[in-house]
Each structure stands twice: as C-alpha cells, then as structure tokens.
Amino acid sequence: MAEKEEGKRDRVRRILIDPLKADGMRFRKTVTEEKQRQSLDRLADDLSYMTDDGLHALRLWMRSHGDGAAKCFWPMTVSIISTAESFEPRPLEELPALRRWFASAAGRRALEGDRLVAEYEFWRKFKRPPITPRDQEAVARRAAEWASKAERVQDRIRRGLLPMHDDASWLHWYEETTERAKALVSSAIEGAA
C-alpha cells in the first residue's frame, strides 16, 4: 500500500508545531479551540516555504521566546513570521502583491526601462513597490549602475580576460535575477493574452 504524501501544512506541524506543543507551548486560556486551530493552520501555511533545517532552527528559537512570565505561550504570529524571514526569507515569487506589480504596467515599464533587477531587489528588501519619487530615483540609479557593471563584466569575458574579484559570481546572480523578474512579467503578459 502506497504511503500518503505529506502535505506542506503537515510537514510544518511535524517539524515545528507538534514538537513545541510537546515541549509545553500553549495558548492562553481565553483563546478558544477554534481560534487556536485557525492560528496554527495559518502559521503552518505562512511557514510552509521554509526548509526542514529552517523550521528546526525556528523551533529552537521559539522554545526560548514564548510569551508570558513562564515563556510558554505561543508568540504573536508577527514575531514568528519576522524571525522566520530573518532565518530564511520567503521567496519573492510567493508574494501576491509582487506578482500583481510585475503583471501591471509597472512591470512592463521596468522591463522596457531596464530596471527589472533593481525593482525586484527593492521588493526583496522592503516587501513593497518603489512608489515614492525617492524610491524610484534610488531604483533608477541602482539599475543604471548594475546595467553598466554587467556590460563591463560581459565585455571583459568576451575579450577573453578574467573577471575582476567576484565579478563572475555577481554577473551570474544578475543574469539569474533578470530571468526570474522577466518570468514574472512574461507570465503576466501571457496570462492577459
């Protein structure tokens, strides 16, 4: 008989939630059973992107960072999520707002203006679009710097020269990130067609 495949939510429960419950982590008495279940389901869904190692590390952190005098109550979800992000950032492609941004006219303008990587990295850092004039200036400046650097490194490689310092790995990152950002825009354009 074939074993049932473990779902994402079940994996988070097995590695993080159930061991913490066994260690004594609990909700306050005022939280209903239904609210407890909903909270832990949402937490499992929010953390399902993490690797097993990331979940183990988060569990160790949570064991010593519970709420209350006895440190035995579940921390606020926002605390858990922000700590999880510091251990292992959520892939940007999982953010619905990012997909909408790159699917919009803003994504096409970023592609046409050669700002895709700079805007993608802005999202990675701030989890929001560059909408203020200051943000847009910073993104434009960074995009120009990176495009120039990519051109210089590619030129050195074309001429048979060795890249300087870590330029080869930087170029690999830049090209890979460009493709990921282009895929976001392309999938949106194809979906709209």
Which of 58, 87, 116 is a domain's end point?
87
Residue 30 has φ and ψ, to the nearest 5°, of -75, -10
Range of the domain at 36: 9-87
The pLDDT score that the predictor gives to residue 188 is 57
Comparing CA positions, the residue from 123, 135, 120, 136 lying closest to residue 173 is: 120
The pLDDT score that the predictor gives to residue 29 is 93
Tell me the average pLDDT across 168-174: 93
Q: Is 3 helix (H, G, I), strand (E, B) or coil?
A: coil
The pLDDT score that the predictor gives to residue 193 is 42
The pLDDT score that the predictor gives to residue 83 is 93
The percent of residues in the chain predicted with pLDDT above 70, rounded, is 95
Residue 1 resides in a domain: no
How many folded domains does the chain comprise? 2
Low-confidence winner among 21-35, 95-109, 112-126, 163-177 (lowest mean pLDDT): 95-109
Arithmetic mean of pLDDT over the chain: 89
Residue 116 CB coordination number (10 Å): 22
* Residues 36/73, Cβ–Cβ less than 8 Å: no
The pLDDT score that the predictor gives to residue 41 is 95
Q: What is the Cα–Cα distance from 191 to 16, expressed in whole angstroms?
A: 37
* Residue 191 pLDDT class (50, 70, 90 cuts): low
Residue 51 resides in a domain: yes
The verdict on 148 and 99 lying in the same domain is yes
The verdict on 73 and 128 lying in the same domain is no
Helices 105-112 and 167-192: angle between axes, nearest 10 degrees? 140
Q: What is the pLDDT of residues 54-112, one digit of tens each?
A: 999 999 999 999 998 888 999 999 999 999 988 998 887 777 788 888 888 888 899 89
The verdict on 77 and 97 lying in the same domain is no
* Residue 190 pLDDT class (50, 70, 90 cuts): low
* Residues 173/149, Cβ–Cβ less than 8 Å: no
Confidence (pTM) = 0.66
Residue 25 resides in a domain: yes
